[in-house]
Structure 1
């Protein structure tokens, strides 16, 4: 029941694995956007935040600087810090299909090709691409940036039949799906999964985040018009700079076409 729910702020506890600055930033940002901290109202002082969360003044001051840069709070000399009355306007939600979405990403970002090779993929990927055990596939790893900041790390596999056209030069000019389309592939559908992940040493360095920082992980299998899998991609995105948009038609709202939530209760292994 509603009475059983704890206050929103009381549910927040600093935890290990993610920097204290990042946790505090996300919590305060949520309190501002949700209205817990009133627009135009006085924002908690540095001293009160230090005491509330047992944090150093350096961490709190850095967080307040980020909130100000995001346009969420403003400092008034001699008066204190206030939540802005007018918050940044919500971003428009585009109506895009899978291919249009990929094209949109390509147009708004700059790409750096990190590696192109062919090897035996991990078992899960090989099965998704209908490969035989031990069969090799083409692999390409790229990093996309926006305004100089890394925003997307992609790790893509495709059947070895496309080896000749998947080159560093081609990948620096065209998206992976465009290269295959230019070589005769007609796309039919895509299956996509979005989960939470954390940055390992490699991904943290490439995405310019802290080791162990939260990431969005997007896995997508694209099929051609003959229902053959042709692309298996894994995308990593910094969680504090990314969002996933869905535009579902009225006819698809109550159908599987709108997607589904899958619960995996075996995080630590099968439950007894």
Structure 2
């Protein structure tokens, strides 16, 4: 489904601020994979997501999605088949537009029919939006005309998740999408995430700072450091792993203890 082959990216090359963010990164994901990705700050997790989304082009290497080379495909074209959620609930929605208008934009962006961009959203499609909103169990189906800016962070993040999957994407990227929410709301959005991923059998990559969640969710756990993969575990081996095992794997792969309070205290 997704292949990154020898992908490298250096920011500010030749300056005192030079940073090698991805270093010959090679990894393959299979259809239906739900991979959790962990690593300390600067490990390259979000940079890998940005490379996949087309936020920048890699210096070297290639990216293939569903057999198609997308290495130099513009980001706005990739957005039709790649859903992306961020840590900040304020991203991914237009606050001054209504819930219905935000869903309509997401639907039209991802729709593969060229003529659809020239048409208006039909009454049936609006009913479909309402039904999908009702599944969130947040009462948003009765607020479709309200501006998104009036919603809470959890409501906006749930709406953004719905927008990213209103037309089933080939790939869903979740960049710590519950980290800015309170624990109860985060659990609710995470449950919704699991439901949508399972219902659509999505290929999903999720960055998390919570090492226990990295082992509990999905079918595969990946650890990154210095722009490289230092651990890729799945199957029976993953089922028996503990957080302490992950810490030991980090120490073996890097040569030092993990020093990230946010991960250690989660």
TM-score in terms of structure 1 length: 0.26
Name whichever structure is richer in helix by fraction. 2
**Greater C-alpha radius of gyration:** 1
Greater relative contact order (CA < 8 Å, ≥ 6 in sequence) = 2
